[in-house]
Amino acid sequence: MTINPIKHITIVLISLGIILSFTASWSDTGAQGTEMNLIGQQTKWQPAGAARVSQNDSNLEILVVTNQTDKTWNRAYLPMRISSNANSIHFTVEYASKSNLGNATFVAQIRDNSSKILWSGYLENNTGDQLFNKTFTLPNSILNRPVEFRFNVITNGTGDHALDIKKATMMFN
């Protein structure tokens, strides 16, 4: 049995699209000032826990409404592999966080495949409608290996929380 070449190409392209929708990969030649946008067409953030995730080219919104009375870890996550020989990595995030009911802790985090935390950075809690801009220095241990970037909304009781991310970029030098 032979497959029509057009059908074969179509199957390959669909398969590639499915694979890329689950994993993002970036390559950097080490050029001075290379920037990676984590919110854009090449990314597909996934929800976990009670998180609901919506995104477009300029915004990532994470909503958590929970009736759980115990501590819960809710998040949006992005599996990725960053191929680079950079000497330094700076992560900049512009965001607003809000808790309409209850309290939450907002954390950006990078983990490896075994769920070992490679880096964590706390975000301001309950900024309301005010946008905050924070820049962190990331460890080189996140490079050249599969990692998972996370925006966590950690709750310790019932509540209604939102994390609205307007910018999330990594700068490689």
pLDDT of 5 reads 52
Q: What is the pTM of this model?
A: 0.81
Say if residue 21's pLDDT is above 80: no
Identify the H or E element spanning 82: strand 71-83
Domains, the chain, in order of start with CATH, read 5-172 (2.60.120.260)
> In the predicted model, what is the mean pLDDT of residues 40-56?
93
Contact 149, 43 (CB under 8 A): no
pLDDT in tens, 62-114: 999 999 999 999 999 999 999 999 999 999 999 999 999 999 999 999 999 88
Q: Is 132 helix (H, G, I), strand (E, B) or coil?
A: strand
